[in-house]
Amino acid sequence: MRRIQRDTCHEDFIKSLTSGEQAVFRDIWRLLLFAGALGSREGRGQPLESIDSGKAIPENYFSAAGWRGFLYLIGVADTRDSECLRGTEEAQNDLIKAFEEYANHGLHVLSERMNSATSPFDELISILLESRTAQTATPDVDDLI
């Protein structure tokens, strides 16, 4: 499986969230996973425009227990088919590409929101609360018909 890449336009933002006293994420892969989930939640991916292959992360760095499941979930949700679950190299590369694009969009959203926020921690909490509120909201009956 190929390495996971990110758009170079996010490098300063990524550094600000993963290093120093104000670090919100301990590792870049954790930030990318959060950004990928955010992009996926919004149903939007954004192709990478510029990459530095030297900054690509090996897939095995993503040590979250549900990492592989998250990739498969993205693939099934995007394609509405289980072909991505096959172990072919092409299917695996398609999963990584979809993740990279969701993470790229998520990083753009995070950057916009955090640049106008007073505290990165407070803004992350707001994003999480919005997600929770969206999940527990009662659907409108007219939308179901």
Q: For residue 60, report the phi and psi dihedrals to the nearest 5 degrees.
A: -70, -10
Q: What is the pLDDT of residue 34?
A: 93
Q: Is residue 1 part of a domain?
A: no
Q: Is residue 116 part of a domain?
A: yes
> Which residues span the domain enclosing 21?
8-144
- In this structure, what token pair is assigned to residue 50? 């510029």
Q: What is the pLDDT of residue 142?
A: 53
- In this structure, what token pair is assigned to residue 87? 């172990």
- In this structure, what token pair is assigned to residue 109? 């959203």
Q: Is residue 49 part of a domain?
A: yes
Contacts of 31 (CB under 8 A, 6+ apart): 14, 17, 18, 24, 25, 107
Q: Is residue 2 part of a domain?
A: no
Domain count, the chain: 1
pLDDT along the chain (145 residues), means of 10: 92 93 88 94 94 90 87 90 87 93 96 84 86 59 48
Stated pTM of the model: 0.85
Q: What is the pLDDT of residue 96?
A: 93
